[in-house]
Amino acid sequence: MDKMISDKEKNWQEEFSKCKQREASFKTVSGEEIKPLYTPNDLKGFDYLEELGYPGQYPFTRGVYNTMYRGRLWTMRMFSGFGTAEDTNKRYRYLLDHGQTGLSVAFDFPTLYGRDSDDPMSCGEVGRCGVAISSLADMERLFDGIPLDKVSTSMTINGPAAILWAFYIAAAENQGVDPKQLRGTIQNDVLKEYIAQKSWLIPPEPSMRLTVNTMEFGSKHIPKWNTISISGYHIREAGSTAVQELSFTLADGFEYVKAGQEAGLDVDMFAPRLSFFFNSHLDFFEEIAKYRAARRIWAREMKNRFGAKNPRSWLMRFHTQTAGCTLTAQQPENNIVRVAWQALAAVLGGTQSLHTNSMDETLALPSEKAVLIALRTQQLIAYESGVANTIDPLAGSYFVESLTKRMEEQAYEYFEKIEKLGGIIKAIEIGYPQKEIAQASFRYQKEVEEKKRIVVGVNDYRIKDENIEIPILRIDPDVEKNQCRRLAQLREKRDNRKVKSRLDDLRDACRGEENLMYPILEAARVYATLGEIAGVLKEVFGEYREPPIYW
Amino acid sequence: MGRKLRILLAKPGLDGHDRGIKVVARALRDAGMEVIYTGLHQTPEMIVEAALQEDVDAVGLSILSGAHMTLFVKVKELMEENGIGNKLLFGGGIIPDDDIKKLNEMGIGKIFTPGSSINEIIDYIQKNIKTEDE
């Protein structure tokens, strides 16, 4: 049988090489060479149980749950936030009314950096690319009329994650909800901030302490909360390849597990609450292979390297967002189609939740109309395409399995390099992942410039003097003024003696060894602002600055 | 040949999106220009100070955070106050057409939106810089 296949293959190869091929690059978007055909010869020695197994079973290549989408569809979770807490609250209610199943908060830049709306550096940025949340009072307004025991909420917040989480917990308490009931995620992945997204607060080492504190606090008090969402999304958006996204994200993940263990926590206590967040980029099969490889590597490393015994510690659960950087400002309606197949790849890759980008995101924050089309895209995939009928339908494909295997091997090569540099934190400090990403991003841009890669509407199939006719979301210019005024009122109204004493407690705690989540939550409850709490952290631990290198 | 063109590329405000500006920085350098990249989180004051110190021929800002109407205008004003209002100020980012028009009316140069080609940017800079040799 094997010989017959090989003979036939040789025969096909000869015929194929005589024929003319299209003048095109047959590489993935990450620059990986793709063969014209994959056959059983590409999967020699393939062991089904070893490589794939069954859904919900080690090594989870086929999916983390036994039933996957036959049990429950993925969570449709649109990342959203703009203007004031009231503006965003209105958008959340709109999305929930249209069948969205989870919330996802986009904060504005000042909030991401732990700065209040009235901080001088916040000038012009308040409510612009997310919602402005400067205190518990803003968080209460954000979830006004949305019972926090009924929704799951993801918050994209990193450097100051502990503080925003404390606002959320205190807001739930004020709604009369037991924090044990809370479900959701804080991104809280600072390592990738230094690598890619750049919204940091304090330097890596004290940041890791804060992360471990949240992991410990969550497992004790908010057991259904994902305390980190280890993120490749931003690494990819910064221009990395698929393999770099996979490798750096997992390397970050290993570092958090190591930090937890070094702090004396039992891996099986916190690992089940680690979750992941990946990008879904243009190259359909490469993305699917990436998710499958990621699950397999994580399961293996958690079991063998970190000694986790609870199978729930082995599962890689992940959220996916389609790739913002692949959207074009030209002919923006084309983006609807790009998003659709990126979303499809995420579903075929077994994602637990999904955000689909809106067609207008290269122009502004999404309009209501654009965001509805994006949400509908997920519903179309879920209910009309038929892909959710069976689990991991691409398993066994010669191409997909060999691509999965290759990505896994390449990831291990990166792990080795990172190990040689002394681990991911050392690697970040010398700018290794940053350089790798900048190079990949430059290579991609050059390919587009030289037309080795076609981007429809950008370097080919252009429309001359195109008139863009889609509505654009405008942020009310008064948002900043109103937000600052409200903050001033808050500072007047609250019990400032209490605020000062809670901040003093936090300062003392920072200098000691205790878990910082407790004093942060205490400060949040008495309406200390984000900037005040973050200010104490920066005062004790210093502020991070990146060297301005563009390589 | 005169001296190399000196270009200051800056990220004003809190915006951390630096993929585009890094690609542009490298491409301008490869095209023979002297590139000074400020890094992230610069105030308009810091940027104009750097432009003066480095005696640059042009200033490019990258803003993807939506704060462009505040930050471009502030940098332009400060450049004028400091006697370098005649130098080219251009930029790029996620900026709607209507805002680009308003910025252009204020004397700010071309704004490159996603999908712009590097050659376009190089070409634009070379054609629009007023160097002392001219």
Rounded percentage of chain A residues whose pLDDT exceeds 70: 99
pLDDT for B132: 53
Report phi then psi at A69, rounded to 5. -75, -5
pLDDT band at residue A509, thresholds of 50, 70 and 90? very high
**Lowest-confidence pick of A167-176, A466-475, B60-69:** A466-475
- Please, what is the Cα angle at A354 between A303 and A271, to 5 degrees? 25
Range of the domain at B84: 6-128
Using CB atoms, which residue from B18, B69, B98 is nearest to A198? B18
Q: Does residue A19 belong to any structural domain of this protein?
A: no
> Which residues in chain B have Cβ-Cβ distances shorter than 8 Å to A197?
16
Q: Does residue B133 belong to any structural domain of this protein?
A: no
pLDDT for B134: 46
How far apart CA A278 and CA B120 sit, in angstroms, is 33
pLDDT tens, position by position, A193-230: 999 988 889 999 899 999 999 999 999 999 999 999 99
pLDDT for B131: 59
| Cis, peptide link before residue A203, omega less than 30° from 0 | no
Number of compact structural domains in chain A: 1
CATH code of the domain containing A263: 3.20.20.240
Q: How many helices (H) and strands (E) does chain A have?
A: 22, 9
Q: Does residue A515 belong to any structural domain of this protein?
A: no
Q: Does residue A491 belong to any structural domain of this protein?
A: no
Q: Does residue B134 belong to any structural domain of this protein?
A: no
**Which of B14, B15, B61 best probes binding to A when mutated, by most A CB atoms within 10 angstroms?**
B14
**Which of A112, A115, A442 best probes binding to B when mutated, by most B CB atoms within 10 angstroms?**
A442
Assess B85–A contact: CB distance below 8 Å, yes or no. no
- What's the average model confidence in pLDDT over A118-131? 93
With beta carbons less than 8 A apart as the criterion, state whether B93 and B68 touch. Answer: yes
Token pair for A477: 């210019």
Closest Cα in chain A, distance from residue B134 (Å): 30
Number of compact structural domains in chain B: 1
- How many CB pairs below 8 Å do chains A and B form together? 111
pLDDT band at residue A549, thresholds of 50, 70 and 90? low
Cβ distance B113 to A362 less than 8 Å, yes or no, reads: yes
Residue A137 has pLDDT above 80, yes or no: yes
Strand A152-156, strand A183-186: pairing: parallel
Mean pLDDT by 10 residues, chain B (134 residues): 88 91 94 94 96 97 93 97 96 92 96 90 92 52
Q: Does residue B122 belong to any structural domain of this protein?
A: yes
Report phi then psi at B67, rounded to 5. -95, 15
CA torsion through residues A354, A530, A162, A237, sign? positive
Closest Cα in chain A, distance from residue B68 (Å): 8
Any alpha helices (H) in A98-160, and if so which ranges? Answer: 109-112, 136-142
With beta carbons less than 8 A apart as the criterion, state whether A355 and A346 touch. Answer: no
Assess B40–A contact: CB distance below 8 Å, yes or no. yes
Q: Does residue A415 belong to any structural domain of this protein?
A: yes
Rounded percentage of chain B residues whose pLDDT exceeds 70: 95
The identity of residue A98, as a single letter, is H
pLDDT band at residue A471, thresholds of 50, 70 and 90? confident
| Residue of A407, A440, A473 lying closest to A130 (CA atoms) | A473
- What's the average model confidence in pLDDT over A37-60? 96
pLDDT for B21: 94
Assess B39–A contact: CB distance below 8 Å, yes or no. yes
Q: Does residue B55 belong to any structural domain of this protein?
A: yes
CA torsion through residues A405, A409, A410, A411, sign? positive
| Residue of A551, A435, A409 lying closest to A32 (CA atoms) | A409
Q: In what order do the strands lie in the sheet with A75-80?
A: A225-226, A183-186, A152-156, A102-106, A75-80, A353-355, A318-322, A274-280, A228-231
Rounded percentage of chain A residues whose pLDDT exceeds 90: 88
Q: Does residue A466 belong to any structural domain of this protein?
A: no
CA-based R_g, chain A, Å: 24
Q: Does residue B81 belong to any structural domain of this protein?
A: yes
β-partners of residue A353 are A75, A319
Cβ distance A449 to B117 less than 8 Å, yes or no, reads: yes
Question: pLDDT averaged over chain A?
Answer: 95
DSSP of B6-51: EEEEE-BTT----HHHHHHHHHHHHTT-EEEE--S-B-HHHHHHHH
Print burial letters for A147-163: b (CB count within 10 Å at least 16), e (below 16): ebeebbbbbbbbbbbbb
A380: which residues sit within 8 A by CB, 6+ positions away?
A340
Using CB atoms, which residue from B13, B19, B74 is nearest to A238? B19
pLDDT for A469: 80
CB within 8 Å of chain B, chain A residues 54-113 = 109-110, 112-113
Residue A551 has pLDDT above 80, yes or no: no
pLDDT tens, position by position, A375-427: 999 999 999 999 999 999 999 999 999 999 999 999 999 999 999 999 999 99
A203: which residues sit within 8 A by CB, 6+ positions away?
A541, A542, A543, A544
pLDDT tens, position by position, A274-332: 999 999 999 999 999 999 999 999 999 999 999 999 999 999 999 999 999 999 999 99
ipTM: 0.83
- Please, what is the Cα angle at A311 between A305 and A317, to 5 degrees? 90
How far apart CA A277 and CA A153 sit, in angstroms, is 14
Chain A residue with CA closest to B117: the answer is A449
| Residue of A170, A206, A168, A173 lying closest to A187 (CA atoms) | A168
CATH code of the domain containing B65: 3.40.50.280
DSSP for residue A546:
-
Q: Does residue A8 belong to any structural domain of this protein?
A: no
Cβ distance A129 to B66 less than 8 Å, yes or no, reads: yes
Assess B32–A contact: CB distance below 8 Å, yes or no. no
The identity of residue A532, as a single letter, is E
How far apart CA A134 and CA A455 sit, in angstroms, is 40
Assess A467–B contact: CB distance below 8 Å, yes or no. no
Q: Does residue A374 belong to any structural domain of this protein?
A: yes
Assess A43–B contact: CB distance below 8 Å, yes or no. no
Count CA atoms within 13 Å of residue A542 on its CB side: 6
pLDDT tens, position by position, A141-151: 999 999 999 99
Residue written as token pair 């800056």: B10
Range of the domain at A402: 48-449
Cβ distance A125 to B43 less than 8 Å, yes or no, reads: no
Using CB atoms, which residue from B26, B43, B74 is nearest to A551? B26
> Which residues in chain B have Cβ-Cβ distances shorter than 8 Å to A328?
114-115
Q: Does residue A500 belong to any structural domain of this protein?
A: no
With beta carbons less than 8 A apart as the criterion, state whether A387 and A347 touch. Answer: yes
Assess B50–A contact: CB distance below 8 Å, yes or no. no
- What's the average model confidence in pLDDT over A424-451? 92
Using CB atoms, which residue from B27, B40, B96 is nearest to A363? B96
